[in-house]
Amino acid sequence: MTTGASGLIGAVGAPLLRLLAERSGLRSGLSTALGRLRPDFIPEHDRGQVLIDVAVALGLGAVSVAGAANLLSASQAVLGQVASTPTTWRALTELDPTALAAVAKARAGHRRAIWARLTARDTPRHRTKPHLPSSTPRSADYIAGELRNPGWATPT
């Protein structure tokens, strides 16, 4: 570990996890769900992005909201503008039971969409392509079970 260096990013996984949330539609789903609750409120920091950022930071080892904000601030050169600790706290305190239900619904919809993409990828047409791994019958059964009964196999 080096101290005093500049131009380094402490949490190199943050941009990739953030990009995954963006490209998979999770961020936009959360943003839409939370935006519907207060259509007249346009925050400087997208509330869906703030939630994604907190989850990413916790996954990378942050143990508090301030730690999450600090971890992401250290990666600002790559991530761009991130919410400050007070803004993150405001976003979290806005999560009343109605907002939490909207977040849960958005996450469930996103989870179903991802499982559907994985199932679609597990067709015989795709198994012949060398760049896509073929799935075992066990993984297909797992995915089919998840689609029949959402949430049974996925920790929340």
Mind listing the pLDDT tens digit for each residue in 64-97?
888 888 888 877 767 778 888 888 898 888 889 9
23 vs 26: CA distance, rounded Å: 8
Q: Rounded to two decimals, what is the model's pTM? A: 0.66
On the question of pLDDT at 121 being above 80, the answer is no
57, 68 Cβ separation under 8 angstroms:
yes
Using the predicted structure, report yes or no on whether residue 58 has a pLDDT greater than 60.
yes
Mean pLDDT of the chain: 75
Residue 106 pLDDT > 70, yes or no? yes
Question: How far, rounded to the nearest angstrom, does the alpha carbon of residue 149 sit from its chain's CA centroid?
Answer: 22
Question: Which is nearest to 51 in space by CA: 90, 12, 109?
Answer: 90
Other CB atoms within a 10 A radius of the CB of residue 27 amount to: 23
- Which residue ranges make up each domain of the chain? 13-148
The two structure tokens encoding residue 60: 């990378």
**Contacts of the segment 55-59: beta carbons below 8 A, 24+ positions apart:** 56/13, 56/14, 56/17, 56/18, 56/21, 57/11, 57/14, 59/13, 59/17
